[in-house]
Chains A and B, each alone.
Chain A
Amino acid sequence: MTHAPFVADTMASATLQDLGHLAPMAIVGLWGLLLMATDAFAAVGFRHFQRRIALFGLALAFVAGLTIYGNADYDGGVEVFRGFLVVDPFSAILDLVLVGLCAGTVLVAGDYARTHRFEYGEQESLLCIATFGAMMVGHAHDLLALFLGIETMSISVYVLVGARWNAKPSAEAALKYFLMGAFASAILLMGIALLYGATGATAFEGIRGGVAEAFTRWLRINDLARALDQGHTASPAASDLVIQGVAKAALLIPGVLLVLGALLFKVSAVPMHMWTPDAYEGAPTPVTAFMASVVKVAGVAALLRLFVATFSTHRLVTAPYGWTTAVALVAFLTMTVGNLAAVRQSNVKRLLAYSSIAHVGYLLLGVVAAANFYGEAFASDATLGGDGLSWSRDAGDTAVASVLLYIVVYAVASLGAFVTVAWLSGNKHEALEAYQWSGLARRHPGMALGMTVCLLSLMGLPPMAGFFGKLFLFRAVFENSNPWLQFLVVWALLNAVVGAYYYLRLVVAMYFHTPPKTAPVVLPGKGAPAVVAVTAGLSVALGVLMQPTLDRADLAARAFNYPPGPSKARRVDGLRAAWEARDPTPPVAAEEPSPGT
């Protein structure tokens, strides 16, 4: 990145240019503030205009995102605001997905709030600001950006969870979520402080350099300590070196672990998952849909950006100082506990909450595998020099691509499922018990079909996108030669079978049980059916058109752990060239559509 000279007008134009690169995120953030202002000046009867204004802004952001998404200029990653954020194919996909998920929530949230008599004008604004924070996490290239993005998102969501002032569970869920979330944020911040102490930088590039340096010193320290022990070179200078080197690693490793714990909390991995079912159940259901989709995507993006791309040096990945063994164990616990707890739930919201925990377990496997591959690539570079063995690097890219694909497919299906739950709550109470879903297919065949498609996609049945998500994820993880990881893939497959049980139980209730005497009252308006139609359609379409979707994910993950620059651009352009060689007349911009827009 070339630094502009400190002249007022070039500064201003550089800022404007950077904002242009960040157009989708800037529009969503601006719209959050705009909606706050329009709400302040709107007459009481005109609240429903908030939704139209929000949807207009999100559509603008989506169009802006499309111009960046298809643009090969961003292949190498463009650093904006002096390396604070980065715009690359990965963040471009996340922008589109997050804007679409936010639009899906906005379409339902207003109707739900009006029906349940807690309508308030800030809702759309808060949803936009939370999405802005999530997008910032996707663009993060500095610990400060990561922290601010996570906090912007979390603080808005605390308010959204507690906004249903006329129901006691809402405030209780908000308090539980807030106390645990703020505790995790404080832990995250302490971890960040220690990382800064160890590396002297908050930018990811600086941290990567500092991590490598801390462990090279560490290696020399072993020699020095041995020499000291033998009494040959017992000089003050040598012992100073020992202390300095040990101090760096002694700050770095606790820092990494604290940040890891906080991020695992944010994605609700076991054992930091206790808040999830309570917060999901107590929150207004559209907000639950938002938490299960947007917040999860942001959490996984943070893990990928920080842990897979930055903390993936060989020493930091592998035992004895590595973090991946711990995360593999967490993944094992997460999928097992999530699935077993979901089996014994009769409450649909809690069932879906536990199933979302189980999905995080599968995703963490992909994160571990990607980091392991990158660590191996790092080690082979160090010993062989240059691009010694590129196989590990390609395998790492593939693992990142499969994680990205899985989280997108999961978020779309999850949004659809929770929106259906929100739709079935037309009177003051929600139809949350499984028997209230009996015979839904006879009364509302369209919605029952949409819900079934979303559930089957979450379950991973072949024509749906969820099947390919699981297939590519598990295949990428199984490439790893670590027997513990290969065992975990088998274990994950068994877990998927358990998952099929509780998803199918709901499907069977909808199709084969006799409906209750009193028909469920549903939400007014076309918002919820539209969202379910789009999410179900996408769950099928992304599965049927898997090749273009997978290509885009591959492109986004290509050279994922490279710093932005020409060498990354070269590798991404190489992939584009390979596509054209494979397919002489490429389809015009194989676009991945997004829900709700």
Chain B
Amino acid sequence: MVPITHFLYLAILLFLIGVGGVLLRRNALFVLMSIELMLNAANVALVAFSRLHGNHDGQVFAFFVIAVAAAEAAVGLAIIVAIFRSRDDVDIDDLGLLRD
């Protein structure tokens, strides 16, 4: 049997890769993908803990997270398309219309 710590390390590793992507990548699409990676890292942790505790709360939670992630990706991609139409690239460093 695989111990719980292995799942936890996997989840933390995925989460940190996601955080790194959000902080370092400048392309909005990559940022969105990194955020999805973070959500899935949390899903791995939820399902692993669900088995550890022997109740189903974590698995139910993971299903809802999948639905929320899909909704978020739909809205996010639509916003990125809107940005792309107006300026032909989706580099988040080029967003300079709104500032102090």
Give A contacts to B, CB under 8 Å: 143-144, 147-148, 151, 155, 158-159, 162, 165, 168-169, 171-176, 178-179, 182-183, 185-187, 189-190, 192-194, 196-197, 200-203, 277-278, 281-282, 341, 345, 350
Query: Shortest distance in angstroms between B7's beta carbon and chain A's nearest beta carbon?
Result: 10
Cβ–Cβ contact B28 & A144, under 8 A: no
Cβ–Cβ contact A182 & B35, under 8 A: yes
Cβ–Cβ contact B98 & A187, under 8 A: no
Cβ–Cβ contact A151 & B68, under 8 A: yes
Given contacts A187-B38, A190-B38, A193-B11, contact A171 B45 (CB under 8 A): no
CA distance A201 to B95 in the complex (A): 42
A182 cross-chain contacts in B, Cβ below 8 A = 32, 35, 72, 76
Cβ–Cβ contact B82 & A147, under 8 A: no
Residues of B34-63 contacting chain A, CB below 8 A: 35, 38-39, 41-43, 45-46, 48-50, 52-53, 55, 57-58, 60-61
Cβ–Cβ contact A282 & B75, under 8 A: no
Select A194's contact among B45, B80, B86, beta carbons within 8 Å: B45
B97 cross-chain contacts in A, Cβ below 8 A = 168-169, 172, 282
Select B75's contact among A158, A193, A202, beta carbons within 8 Å: A158
CA distance A173 to B52 in the complex (A): 42
Question: Which range holds the interface residue count of chain B?
Answer: 35 or more
State the 9 A-B residue pairs at the shortest beta-carbon distance, nearest first. Answer: A186-B38, A193-B45, A200-B53, A197-B49, A189-B42, A278-B98, A171-B82, A193-B42, A190-B42
B92 cross-chain contacts in A, Cβ below 8 A = 175, 179
Most A C-beta atoms less than 10 A away, residue of B57, B60, B71: B57
Select B55's contact among A187, A194, A200, beta carbons within 8 Å: A200
B11 cross-chain contacts in A, Cβ below 8 A = 190, 193
| Per-position binary interface string of chain B over residues 1-38, scored 1 when its CB falls under 8 Å from any chain A CB and 0 otherwise | 00000001001000100100010000010011001001
Select B35's contact among A162, A174, A186, A196, beta carbons within 8 Å: A186
20 interchain pairs, CB-CB under 8 A: A148-B68, A151-B68, A151-B71, A155-B68, A155-B71, A171-B82, A172-B95, A175-B79, A178-B75, A182-B32, A182-B35, A189-B39, A192-B61, A193-B11, A196-B53, A196-B57, A200-B49, A203-B57, A278-B98, A282-B97
Query: Shortest distance in angstroms between A136's beta carbon and chain B's nearest beta carbon?
Result: 13
Measured CB to CB, the nearest residue on chain A to B98 is A278
A176 cross-chain contacts in B, Cβ below 8 A = 95, 98
Give B contacts to A, CB under 8 Å: 8, 11, 15, 18, 22, 28, 31-32, 35, 38-39, 41-43, 45-46, 48-50, 52-53, 55, 57-58, 60-61, 64-65, 68, 71-72, 75-76, 78-80, 82-83, 86-87, 92, 95, 97-100
Query: Shortest distance in angstroms between B99's beta carbon and chain A's nearest beta carbon?
Result: 7
CA distance A370 to B93 in the complex (A): 41
CA distance A193 to B97 in the complex (A): 37
A185 cross-chain contacts in B, Cβ below 8 A = 39, 68, 72
Most B C-beta atoms less than 10 A away, residue of A182, A278, A341: A182
CA distance A402 to B86 in the complex (A): 46
CA distance A149 to B86 in the complex (A): 32
Given contacts A165-B82, A171-B79, contact A277 B31 (CB under 8 A): no
CA distance A200 to B52 in the complex (A): 9
CA distance A193 to B32 in the complex (A): 21
Cβ–Cβ contact A179 & B31, under 8 A: yes
Cβ–Cβ contact A197 & B45, under 8 A: yes
Cβ–Cβ contact B57 & A171, under 8 A: no
A155 cross-chain contacts in B, Cβ below 8 A = 68, 71-72, 75
Query: Shortest distance in angstroms between B18's beta carbon and chain A's nearest beta carbon?
Result: 7
CA distance A388 to B30 in the complex (A): 55
Measured CB to CB, the nearest residue on chain B to A142 is B57
Measured CB to CB, the nearest residue on chain B to A198 is B49
Measured CB to CB, the nearest residue on chain A to B7 is A197
B68 cross-chain contacts in A, Cβ below 8 A = 147-148, 151, 155, 185
CA distance A175 to B99 in the complex (A): 14
Cβ–Cβ contact B72 & A151, under 8 A: yes
A143 cross-chain contacts in B, Cβ below 8 A = 61
A174 cross-chain contacts in B, Cβ below 8 A = 79, 82
B58 cross-chain contacts in A, Cβ below 8 A = 193, 196, 202
CA distance A158 to B79 in the complex (A): 9
Query: Shortest distance in angstroms between B52's beta carbon and chain A's nearest beta carbon?
Result: 7
Cβ–Cβ contact B42 & A183, under 8 A: no
Query: Shortest distance in angstroms between B30's beta carbon and chain A's nearest beta carbon?
Result: 11
Cβ–Cβ contact A282 & B98, under 8 A: yes
CA distance A278 to B100 in the complex (A): 9
Most A C-beta atoms less than 10 A away, residue of B52, B53, B60, B97: B97
Query: Shortest distance in angstroms between B77's beta carbon and chain A's nearest beta carbon?
Result: 10
Cβ–Cβ contact B28 & A179, under 8 A: yes
Cβ–Cβ contact B42 & A171, under 8 A: no
Measured CB to CB, the nearest residue on chain B to A194 is B45
A172 cross-chain contacts in B, Cβ below 8 A = 83, 95, 97-98
